[in-house]
Amino acid sequence: MSAPEFIHRFVPAKAGSSRVLLLLHGTGGDELDLLPLGAELDPNAALLSPRGQVVENGRPRFFRRFAEGVFDEEDVIRRANELADFVASAAEKFCFDPTKVIAVGYSNGANIAAAMMLLRPETLAGAILLRARVTLSHASAADLNAKRVLITAGSADRVIPPENAERLAAILKERGADVKLIVQQASHGLVAADLTASRRWLLHDEADVRD
């Protein structure tokens, strides 16, 4: 059975870099949204940016929901597996190392990235989850040993309260992930500090990342 196809953009790596950033947009975004962010985070990395296949009131998403914060968990599971299959297929098509993929997701994109880590941990080496929350009430007992995860939450976020991001961090830690949670002085939108923390995390410069 062939892997599902996503509308996407792919930017090849430069300067011999093996890193691949899987860019996952928020609700209402598309495959172009996070390309500038990916280039800011690592100008040499390959960028793979798919568009979510679910449409809610004309706005693309990565999985269905019944209401704000109430998710169709069966669809989350289905879509996370489809996206993981797409990434594996893209690795063959574009000739990148599938063990070097790091997800960079915002909001809905961060949520599907977290679901992928829990359901298909082999797909991602790590993840930057910008404004993420718990989406699965009964996540699998995935082995996330050696997986690095950065979660950035907004202290004044009315869409995803910081406490929800803390629960997600705890779930990932319980499964062995090396999780860094940062609460920014921000709402649901991203701020410059998110970019700074993400870039430093990618460089493994943990000493410079401030809570």
pLDDT digit string, tens, across residues 191-205: 999 999 999 999 874
CA angle (40, 29, 138) in 5-degree steps? 95
Give yes or no for residue 209 having a pLDDT over 70: no
Give yes or no for residue 163 having a pLDDT over 80: yes
Looking at the domain 8-206, which fold is it? Rossmann fold (3.40.50)
Q: Cα separation of 98 and 90, whole Å?
A: 9
pLDDT of the residue at 99: 96
Show the tokens assigned to 207: 């000493």
What is the mean predicted confidence (pLDDT) over 76-100? Answer: 97
Give yes or no for residue 96 having a pLDDT over 70: yes
Give yes or no for residue 29 having a pLDDT over 50: yes
Q: Cα separation of 13 and 161, whole Å?
A: 36
Look at 99 and 206; give whichever has higher pLDDT: 99
pLDDT of the residue at 208: 44
Catalytic residue among 25, 49, 107, 198: 107
Q: Which residue has the tokens 């009131």?
A: 57
Give yes or no for residue 27 having a pLDDT over 50: yes
Show the tokens assigned to 101: 């993929």
Q: Can 157 be counted among the known catalytic residues?
A: yes
Q: Can 2 be counted among the known catalytic residues?
A: no
Q: Cα separation of 126 and 201, whole Å?
A: 11
What are residue 129's DSSP bridge partners? Answer: 105, 151
Distinct helix (H) and strand (E) counts, the chain: 5, 11
Q: Can 49 be counted among the known catalytic residues?
A: no
Look at 127 and 67; give whichever has higher pLDDT: 127
pLDDT digit string, tens, across residues 12-24: 999 889 999 999 9
pLDDT of the residue at 157: 97
pLDDT of the residue at 207: 40
Catalytic residue among 8, 72, 187, 188: 188
What is the mean predicted confidence (pLDDT) over 131-152? Answer: 92
Catalytic residue among 33, 42, 157, 194: 157
What per-residue string of b and e applies to 33-59 under the rule 16 or more CB within 10 Å gives b?
A: bbbebbeebbeebbbbbbbbbbeeeee
Residues with Cβ < 8 Å from 170, sequence gap 6 or more?
Answer: none
